[in-house]
Chains A and B, each alone.
Chain A
Amino acid sequence: GAGVSQSPSNKVTEKGKDVELRCDPISGHTALYWYRQSLGQGLEFLIYFQGNSAPDKSGLPSDRFSAERTGGSVSTLTIQRTQQEDSAVYLCASSLLGQGPGGYGYTFGSGTRLTVV
């Protein structure tokens, strides 16, 4: 597609439920990133996928968070047993191989606003 697509755009869930957030990167982009943006805060790195390499999971806040990237394209971020502190906007970005977050390949989606009630 023309840009990074995220779905759903908004998600309200009850505390304790599991949620799945989806990211469709730009076609051909081999690197994919998930960030979390809490109200009044900056963007917090969660996880990074690059080609067939093992993902960098160093930013995942707890073992309730996991992510997969199937076929080197679509990625799903799963949050199990959601808590109120998980409420945030979850942003996905993609980039071309070797260009990292540099100026030519790092594009963000519009995010999924997650509200845990």
Chain B
Amino acid sequence: GENVEQHPSTLSVQEGDSAVIKCTYSDSASNYFPWYKQELGKGPQLIIDIRSNVGEKKDQRIAVTLNKTAKHFSLHITETQPEDSAVYFCAASSGGFQKLVFGTGTRLLVSP
């Protein structure tokens, strides 16, 4: 089955810096890669996703890149703000978009 690895487990940046979180996956058939943000005491919320026919996608300060050959994808946050502090999870689909396999999460801390 699919296996998703995520790095780093923790990331501390200064406000205004960029943050990059990387994930690798094992199943070459996976074709959907979402990113979720989880704030304390809340469920994960989708922030951006990418499908296998696209190499990069941007939404304001966040972007995701996908390299299917290398089986890795990354989340990029520019001009970080304290409210970006949260745990971020990457995921990959397995079984026709119906079941997500998640990475172990990255705790991002943005210091003012």
Chain A residues proximal to chain B, CB less than 8 Å: 4, 31, 33, 35, 40-45, 48, 50, 56, 91, 93, 99-103, 106, 108-111
B45 within 8 A of A: yes
- The secondary-structure label for the interface of chain B is strand
Q: Are B101 and A100 in contact (CB under 8 A)?
A: no
Q: Are B45 and A108 in contact (CB under 8 A)?
A: yes
A106 and B46 form a contact (CB under 8 A): yes
Closest A residue by C-beta to B42: A110
Determine whether the beta carbon of B44 is less than 8 Å from that of A43: yes
Report the number of A-B residue pairs with Cβ-Cβ less than 8 Å: 65
B residues near A43, Cβ cutoff 8 Å: 44, 89, 91, 100, 102
Among A4, A42, A101, the residue within 8 A (CB) of B97 is A101
Residues of A within 8 A of B96 (CB): 100
Chain B residue at smallest Cβ distance from A104: B46
Binding site for A on B (CB under 8 A): 4, 6, 32, 34, 36, 41-46, 49, 89, 91, 93, 95-105
Q: Can you offer 10 A-B residue contacts whose CB atoms are under 8 A?
A: A40-B104, A42-B103, A42-B104, A43-B44, A43-B102, A48-B98, A48-B99, A100-B96, A101-B32, A110-B41
Q: Which residues of the other chain, A, contact B98 by a CB distance below 8 angstroms? A: 31, 48, 50, 56, 100-101
Is B43 touching A4 in the complex (CB atoms < 8 A)? Answer: yes
Chain B residues within an 8 Å CB radius of A109: 43
